[in-house]
Amino acid sequence: MKDIEREIKIILDTIIEKLSPLKIVLFGSYVYGKPTKDSDIDILVVVQDHKLPRYKRAREIRKCLWNKVAIPKDILIYTVDEIKKWEGVKEAFITSVLEQGKVAYEKQD
């Protein structure tokens, strides 16, 4: 397994353990095939709900990953209701991530 794949697995496993997400979507240059040496891993995490404001939600995950993975990561955590607000808005960031990103995890019923 390549280093990047190993690090992505560690990131995904940590997110699943800590947040019990409904879905995790990878997007950005690593998924679209154009990473550079300065690229980060872009991750959208969909949760049922969350009590913290969106800008604070990924702190715990980042702390858990601090000494486990070297690759830079951008973790965005959205609730189902926040995603629903943008449904049908073609130009919305969230819409493009969900349409073009790669689903790395989806909770099974």
Q: pLDDT per residue over 22-79, tens digit each?
A: 999 999 998 888 888 888 999 999 999 988 898 899 999 999 999 999 999 999 999 9
Residue 1 has pLDDT above 60, yes or no: no
Report the predicted TM-score, pTM, of the whole model to 2 decimal places: 0.91
- Give me the number of domains the chain comprises: 1
Mean per-residue pLDDT, 87-109 = 93
Residue 104 has pLDDT above 60, yes or no: yes
Domain that holds residue 79: 3-106
Q: How confident is the model at residue 82 (pLDDT cuts 50, 70, 90)?
A: very high
Residue 2 has pLDDT above 80, yes or no: no
d(CA 109, CA 106): 9
How deeply is 33 buried, as exposed, middle or buried, from its count of CB atoms within 10 A (0-12, 13-18, 19+)? exposed
What are the phi and psi torsion angles at 87 (to 5°)?
-55, 135
CATH of residue 85's domain is: 3.30.460.10
Instruction: Quickly tell me which residue has 């990473």 as its tokens.
Output: 35
The neighbouring-strand residues paired with 24 are 45, 105
24 and 45 in contact (C-beta within 8 Å)? yes
Smallest CA-to-CA distance from 74 within 84, 65, 82 is with: 65
Between 76 and 109, name the one with better pLDDT. Answer: 76
DSSP string of 86-109, one letter each residue: TTT-TT-HHHHHHHHSEEEEE---
Residue 95 has pLDDT above 80, yes or no: yes
